[in-house]
């Protein structure tokens, strides 16, 4: 890698201005677990690293009963996985955080960085001038696409690598962004963008904008939630397919529920019609089986990843049954 300047801004506004004025020649450093890999593989080549790890107030977990949970963008993944209130009330998020990478990486990585990490597509990570790096084509479309998307793809066919993003989508979280000297909050579903909107980016952040906080509203008293991640290896691996579910149960039925999937799309995937179908769904085997058949009706698997469709349906059946059995 080439030499770079290392800056330590004392305020968020200072960091934002450096990023905005220098645009693509600067990169934001928090945990650095993905950033340093991108630099070493020459995917990015920044002149300046803007370190925000020392900024005060962005590494706190704050829970207020009746309101919800606030996670500063610099909160470490390991702290989320181990926090007792998150385990008890926001179980799906604790589950997701606990299966990210290795303990060492969880101790370094931050929740903001986990949401903003770049794709793990091998064509993107290796020496291919793919469409996401400004080239003309997506090599995965007709190439090795075992781990690529089955829905939401085109003209790029990545999957989003974040586990916490899937859990936070099921929890209806909001992302707070520092922008032009002010803060704005958006639903997490609006934070991520599909390749058809912009195939060079994974989220809506513009130069100078910084994620500062994630907010999760207070769940209902009887809510149950869970995250299941299917991996080829048991440690330090990304999801082949994952599913997050948040459900309320009453008299053998789901009174309300949310599902979100990872490993199947360029963004954490959620379908509002499917969530609506969950309301009133009986949790007997036949009903859950019929419900699973309606999943991903508009999917478009590639040559080597049709197995993901079957896997996603089976994981969805499993998570509903496991939550019901708790």
The per-residue pLDDT for range 245-279, each reduced to its tens digit, is 999 999 999 999 999 999 999 999 999 999 999 99
Per-residue pLDDT band for 23 (boundaries 50, 70, 90) equals low
3.40.30.10, 3.30.43.10, 3.40.50.970, 3.40.50.280: CATH of 1-56: 3.30.43.10
Q: What is the pLDDT of residue 25?
A: 83
- The CATH 3.30.390.50 portion of the chain extends over 223-325
Residue 267 CB neighbours (<10 A)? 28
Contact status, residue 189 vs residue 275, Cβ threshold 8 Å: no
Q: Which two tokens stand for residue 165?
A: 């993003």
Cα 311 from Cα 190, distance rounded (Å): 26
CA distances from 148 to 10, 117, 303 (A): 40, 16, 10
Region 73-86: mean pLDDT is: 98
Cα 156 from Cα 8, distance rounded (Å): 35
CATH class of 61-116+172-217: alpha beta
Beta pairing partners, 235: none
- The CATH 3.30.43.10 portion of the chain extends over 1-56
82-134 tens-digit pLDDT: 999 999 999 999 999 999 999 999 999 999 999 999 999 999 999 999 999 99
CATH number for the region 223-325 comes to 3.30.390.50
Q: Please tell me whether the overall predicted TM-score, pTM, comes out greater than 0.95 for this model.
A: yes
On average, the pLDDT of the chain sits at 95
**Percent of the chain beyond pLDDT 90?**
91
Cα 229 from Cα 64, distance rounded (Å): 29
Residue 69 CB neighbours (<10 A)? 23
Contact status, residue 114 vs residue 78, Cβ threshold 8 Å: no
Contact status, residue 313 vs residue 232, Cβ threshold 8 Å: no
- The CATH 3.30.465.10 portion of the chain extends over 61-116+172-217
Q: What is the pLDDT of residue 24?
A: 62
């Amino acid at each position: 890698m080439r030499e770079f300047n290392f800056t330590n801004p004392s305020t968020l506004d200072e960091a934002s201005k450096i990023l905005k004025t220098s645009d693509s020649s600067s990169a934001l450093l928090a945990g650095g677990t993905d950033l340093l890999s991108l630099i070493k593989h020459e995917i990015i080549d920044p002149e300046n690293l803007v370190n925000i790890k020392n900024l005060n107030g962005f590494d706190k977990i704050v829970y207020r009963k009746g309101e919800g949970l606030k996670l500063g963008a610099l909160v470490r993944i390991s702290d989320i996985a181990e926090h007792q209130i998150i385990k008890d009330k926001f179980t799906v998020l604790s589950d997701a955080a606990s299966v990210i990478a290795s303990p060492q990486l969880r101790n370094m990585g931050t929740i903001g960085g986990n949401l903003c990490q770049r794709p793990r597509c091998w064509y993107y990570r290796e020496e291919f001038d793919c469409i996401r790096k400004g080239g003309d084509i997506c090599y995965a479309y007709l190439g090795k696409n075992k781990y690529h998307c089955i829905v939401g793809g085109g003209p790029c066919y990545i999957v989003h690598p974040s586990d916490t993003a899937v859990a936070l989508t099921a929890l209806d979280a909001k992302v707070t962004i520092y922008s032009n000297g002010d803060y704005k909050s958006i639903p997490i579903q609006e934070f991520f963008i599909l390749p058809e909107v912009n195939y060079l980016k994974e989220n809506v952040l513009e130069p100078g904008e910084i994620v500062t906080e994630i907010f999760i509203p207070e769940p209902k008293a009887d809510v149950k939630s869970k995250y299941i991640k299917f991996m080829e290896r048991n440690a330090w691996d990304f999801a082949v397919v994952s599913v997050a579910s948040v459900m309320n149960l009453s008299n053998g039925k789901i009174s309300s529920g949310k599902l979100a999937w990872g490993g199947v799309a360029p963004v954490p995937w959620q379908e509002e019609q499917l969530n609506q179908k969950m309301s009133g769904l009986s949790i007997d085997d036949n009903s859950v089986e019929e419900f699973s058949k309606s999943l991903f009706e508009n999917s478009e698997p590639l040559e080597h990843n049709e197995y993901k469709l079957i896997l996603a349906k089976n994981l969805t059946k499993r998570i509903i049954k496991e939550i019901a059995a708790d």
